[in-house]
């Protein structure tokens, strides 16, 4: 599954760059399970400075999720990474990251029954209100 996961990331980053979109360099690394204490914590993007690559760190549990959830979570993180690359490091929201992901890939971010991002259509077509904004 890790090989497929890596291929998904490469495919999506190539897609963004092929569109001529300015996107920062990223380093992808698997984090330790202790860094992701909540049930719905699967990934984080870490900004290290204007001229440094963004780190996309993921939980080992992410690889256990279904394809649509993996893609949804990654694309949500790519939304954050886009904002980092365009100078909006601290003021963009989780909802804006979802919207940017949809703009970048043409696929909406939905939320599944566990309120986790997915690309599979569900009854939650926007970020549920009780989640952090």
The verdict on residue 123 lying in a domain is: no
Question: Does pTM surpass 0.75?
Answer: yes
The verdict on residue 110 lying in a domain is: yes
Burial class (CB in 10 A: 0-12, 13-18, 19+), 14: exposed
The residues, ordered by sequence, that sit 6+ positions from 88 with a Cβ below 8 Å of its Cβ are: none
- Looking up residue 75, the CATH number of its domain turns out to be 3.30.2010
The verdict on residue 125 lying in a domain is: no
What pLDDT, on the 0 to 100 scale, is given for residue 79?
Answer: 97
The verdict on residue 67 lying in a domain is: yes
The verdict on residue 75 lying in a domain is: yes
What pLDDT, on the 0 to 100 scale, is given for residue 103?
Answer: 97
The verdict on residue 130 lying in a domain is: no
The verdict on residue 129 lying in a domain is: no
Whether the per-residue pLDDT at 60 is higher than 80: the answer is: yes
Q: Which domain holds residue 72?
A: 2-118
The verdict on residue 124 lying in a domain is: no
More confident: 43 or 125: 43
What are the tens digits of pLDDT across the range 11-55? 999 999 999 999 999 999 999 999 999 999 999 999 999 899 999
């Amino acid at each position: 599954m890790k090989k497929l996961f890596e291929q998904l990331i490469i495919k999506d980053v190539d897609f963004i760059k092929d569109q001529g979109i300015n996107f920062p360099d990223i380093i992808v690394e698997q984090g330790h399970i202790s860094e992701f204490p909540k049930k719905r914590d699967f990934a984080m993007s870490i900004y290290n400075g204007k001229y440094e690559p963004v780190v996309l760190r993921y939980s080992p549990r992410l690889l256990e999720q279904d394809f649509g959830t993996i893609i949804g979570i990654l694309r949500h993180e790519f939304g954050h990474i886009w904002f980092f690359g365009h100078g909006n490091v601290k003021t963009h929201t989780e909802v804006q990251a979802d919207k940017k992901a949809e703009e970048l890939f043409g696929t909406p971010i939905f939320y599944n029954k566990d309120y986790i991002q997915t690309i599979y259509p569900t009854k939650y077509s926007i970020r549920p209100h009780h989640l952090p904004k």
